[in-house]
Structure 1
């Protein structure tokens, strides 16, 4: 039997004191929780090295608008709106890890604030506050908060589009539905997968009595929002081959969905979360049966479709057609996970009666303690995928090189999906005093993500004119692939064609640095 969403019912009359108190908490609670979330995500956000995807953000956002638009019509339109925003942002802030990631940190705070508002609409103030705290420490969210990509922003927009949806269903005014259409258009434009939240909202309406009365208005508003975003949807769909690199169907899909998607591979956090939800929902079902309490129905009808429907639809498409599923693409469903966990924690703590608040504090503290080690790992220097170390490479070259030295980038890298010169993209000042002898046409000229890198045999004259050369390439495996002997710090093993060409023009290895996944080799002229 379905129950009406509590947000659809009329608000009870309250005294002047109650209205004053509610007016204060209405603004204070979201602001406070938003600031807490910003502090959690912002802590050591500058520590992890830049990596390939963030370099792509810099590469595109750093261009002039015409060059950016030209690129987006060929590749990466899915992040187009985000790139445009970052274009303006990078005009007023320096290019550092902290500043590039700050918009994502702020987006987490906006999402947490919205979750407080949403939680109060579909449940209670206590649930709203707990859900916002869970959201702030959920591993997927703390990871998105220090990622210069659109994932954190997609989560914040998903929260607020759901707030507008709930308010529109409750008030049934044309203004609210127009606002919903605009939010759908914006969220879809920022990140295409966010369009799937519309399907989740439709399920919410279908399982609630009051909601079913608004289906016509909802469909009209949703279609209007999708129509506004249609040009972007069509353009992104035409670039679907960009995700062809995602692995096909595999046997670890259950792990990816249940552990990676919301918990960033933090298995203990995933297990504890699962246990909390099972226990909490069981308690909640009993309470609803015994007390006829509608709060549970409101939250579950909102959170569960949001949590399940988008993922299920993409998984179905991926299993029957092209695989387009990746855990971090569903960061916009993480707020639903936090809502469900928040309500479950409150239900469980409610078993303690008058001591429910201390028990709830203990549950939250334990949840945070279990997530803490993974949170700290996320903020390590090599926390990004594949342990990428762009920032460390740039720091080394800047500190050790001399003005007028040449820099040479390896063409092929095992761990890096793009050319090694992306290191220069995220830290141009580190390479400002060096001569980039392997650059061909620029990315803007090519209308592509990266500058052209020339093979060393095409730049013989430039090599001959160098006083010293810095080669940036993959880290050596540490052993000679032919003899199995350990590689000495000055041994040229595994340097490949770049080494052979440079050596043929009278250079020897002076020093060699093995970083986390990269290798920096300093060549000097033979005999110097």
Structure 2
């Protein structure tokens, strides 16, 4: 059986080069993440983070018992972040920092498993991938999950590293034990940030299988993985009871695979094709050699296993969305960088002139820069306010221009209230006709609505009402499940007539006035 206990890669390389290979991707990712960070509006998911994380800790805890338990730890972590100066920059800054940390860890993996220039190329590729830049600027947990997964992968590799010959076995045994404990703790926290990160354990099992580890390594990893699963059971039980939240997810198909592959390598085909070629070149190398843990054995399961498993499960129980497997992206730049290094190593065999090491490194950096320049329009588009599914700031601004203090407002469905909760200035002074109790006190995201009888009584006193609705809610084919929502539709259609309509930011504002009484 080949040994997987690898010696420290990089021992023969200058430390300065290794540090630079890690630091440069971090700085590039920070620059990409901070560019256009305050784009002028939050979208619906960010709005949920913004309003929930500003509640008190007991109120957040109360909410998690009924909805959004899967994001509970993230909300608790964001609570102190948003407390001093709540705003778009503060909301997104943790994601930027997490993405920068991930780029650095990807680079560090390349340095450790291969050589500094491979780490540099991999880290830079990660930093300039549009999917990375997109989630680096979202006030959600996905960039933090990606950072946790990368850190856990680093700890896995570290725990599988053979000590130098001069290190005493007992001393190294204690250090290895600490590494496995750290690995389990990091994976557990990552899974608590989003439970579908548990698929990372299957990817790491694939790494151990490809590396042909001895039984003692499987036992150590199995103990850590078992502890993670036990820690995750309570969250899994609670979130399963809240699974209606993801009922909108479709069953993935071949199109989902193609889109994810393009997202992992870069959506532009002139970037996708070279990536795929380099990955194919990298995979021609054996996964395990005696005394060596290959980069391929680490990167390939990380890139393939979580998305493949989630798509397979989603054929029966749809759970797949590309953001849920963002953490798997880290494997793609590692493989592409390893493929580039493999091509460089083949040049002497082809009797071609081989540039010096510094020139090879520079050529790789320039190639990454060219790929970034080619995809620059995608980055610019992603930083426009209206590129997300909706823009709550635009809705609030439109409401501020049209609504007057005291105007009655109906939100249809009630989740459209998120614009008023995220940007309340545009709705200041209006009357929320259907609201019975606000979200923080009722333990709900958007507040508790009045019973149909009470809503009917309130609307009977009005001569006009503003309807703030999702576009689908104004279509004749839409039938809501909630009795209160059905009553809203019935009353505005039977007792009111539309007078004015404005559509902005993915939401429709429609003014209704009471229908004149019929004459005999």
TM-score range, shorter chain: 0.7 to 0.9
Unaligned runs of 5+ in 2: 163-172, 348-352, 477-487, 516-520
Match of 1:488 in 2: none
Taking structure 1 as reference, are residues 261 and 472 closer, same or farther at Cα in structure 2, changes over 3 Å only? farther
Report deviation, 1:225.
2.8
CA distance in 2, matches of 1:448, 1:153: 25
1:46 aligns with 2:34: no
User: 2 CA distance for matches of 1:334 and 1:340?
Assistant: 11
Structure-2 separation of matches of 1:180 and 1:435: 52
How many Å separate the matches in 2 of 1:520 and 1:114?
A: 47
**Which of 307, 310, 329 is residue 334 of structure 1 equivalent to?**
329
Change (3 A) 1:178 1:279: closer
Q: Distance in 1 between matches of 2:383 and 2:134?
A: 9
After TM superposition, the structure 1 stretch with the greater mean CA deviation from structure 2, 373-382 or 393-402, is 393-402
How has the CA–CA distance of structure 1 residues 294 and 129 changed in structure 2, closer, same or farther, with 3 Å as cutoff?
farther
Of 129, 148, 152, which aligns to 2:143? Answer: 152
Q: Is the counterpart of residue 247 in structure 1 residue 247 in structure 2?
A: no
Alignment of 1:7-22 (within 5 A): 8-9=6-7, 21-22=14-15
Residue 375 (structure 2) pairs with residue 371 (structure 1): yes
Alignment of 1:61-140 (within 5 A): 61-94=53-86, 96-140=87-131
- Residue 486 of structure 1 corresponds to which residue in structure 2? none
Distance 1:146 1:12 in 2: 33
Distance in 2, matches of 1:345 and 1:121, equals: 17
1:10 & 1:334 partners in 2: Cα distance?
Answer: 25
139-148 or 46-55, which moves further after superposition? 46-55
**1:2-401 counterparts in 2 under 5 A?**
8-9=6-7, 21-22=14-15, 24-47=16-39, 49-94=41-86, 96-171=87-162, 173-209=176-212, 214-248=217-251, 253-260=253-260, 263=263, 267-269=267-269, 272-282=271-281, 285=284, 298-319=294-315, 321-348=316-343, 351=347, 353-354=354-355, 356-385=360-389, 388-398=390-400, 401=403
Check the 8 A contact 1:280/1:347 in 2, yes or no.
no
Residue 82 of structure 1: how far off its partner (Å): 0.5
Distance in 2, matches of 1:260 and 1:62, equals: 33
Alpha carbons 2:106, 2:123 under 8 Å: kept: yes
Instruction: Indicate the SS of the match to 1:382.
Output: helix
Partner of 1:490: none
Is the 2:283–2:296 Cα contact (8 Å) retained in structure 1? Answer: no
Count how many residue pairs are aligned between Structure 1 and Structure 2: 479
How far the C-alpha of 1:327 sits from its partner, in A, is 1.4
Give secondary structure in 1 for the equivalent of 2:160: helix
Output the CA distance in 2 between the equivalents of 1:360 and 1:502: 68
Assess if the C-alpha contact under 8 Å between 2:181 and 2:224 holds in 1: yes
Are 1:205 and 1:212, in contact at CA under 8 Å, matched by a contact in 2? no
For 2:416, which of 412, 417, 420 is the aligned residue?
A: 420
- Residue correspondence of structure 1 range 437-476 to structure 2 within 5 A: 437-453=433-449, 457-460=456-459, 463=462, 471-474=467-470
Deviates more, 1:144-153 or 1:366-375: 366-375
TM-score of the pair, normalised by structure 1: 0.80
Distance 1:211 1:359, change over 3 A: farther
Cα distance change on mapping 1:97 and 1:131 into 2, 3 Å: same
